[in-house]
Amino acid sequence: QLQLVESGGGLVQPGGSLRLSCEASGIRLDYYAIGWFRQAPGKEREAVSCIRNDGSTTYADSVKGRFTISRDNSQNAVHLQMSSLKPEDTAVYYCTADCHGFSPYWGQGTQVTVSP
């Protein structure tokens, strides 16, 4: 069974950067498309970015040019580099094993707070 673990969240000032990681043990993550989603308080979960098996990537319009998703096969991880962070990026960020949010495999989430 695939188990995903997110890390790297925290408190950062507007304009700052964070790198989130999604890691798995016991199975290679490059077998899967890996998507990042986020959910802010009182809001619906939204897709942020995805990287597919062929390496192609997609981004939500709200994060294009600021976030970069990548694979690190040596660490069996997928990273989400977030730059120029805004208060509206504040949310719990989750990784999952597809691009559309239909996978049963989700991590526990990592909190990102962007605040002065």
pLDDT given for residue 26 in this prediction: 77
Q: List, in sequence order, every beta strand (DSSP E) within the chain.
A: 4-7, 10-12, 18-24, 34-39, 46-51, 57-59, 67-72, 77-82, 91-96, 110-114
List C-alpha distances in Å: 35 to 11, 53, 94. 22, 11, 8
- Encode the chain (116 residues) as per-residue pLDDT tens digits: 789 999 999 999 999 999 999 999 778 888 899 999 999 999 999 999 999 999 999 999 999 999 999 999 999 999 999 999 999 999 999 999 999 999 999 999 999 999 99
> For residues 34 and 97, is the Cβ–Cβ distance under 8 A?
yes
**Exposed, middle or buried: residue 48 (CB in 10 Å: 0-12, 13-18, 19+)?**
buried
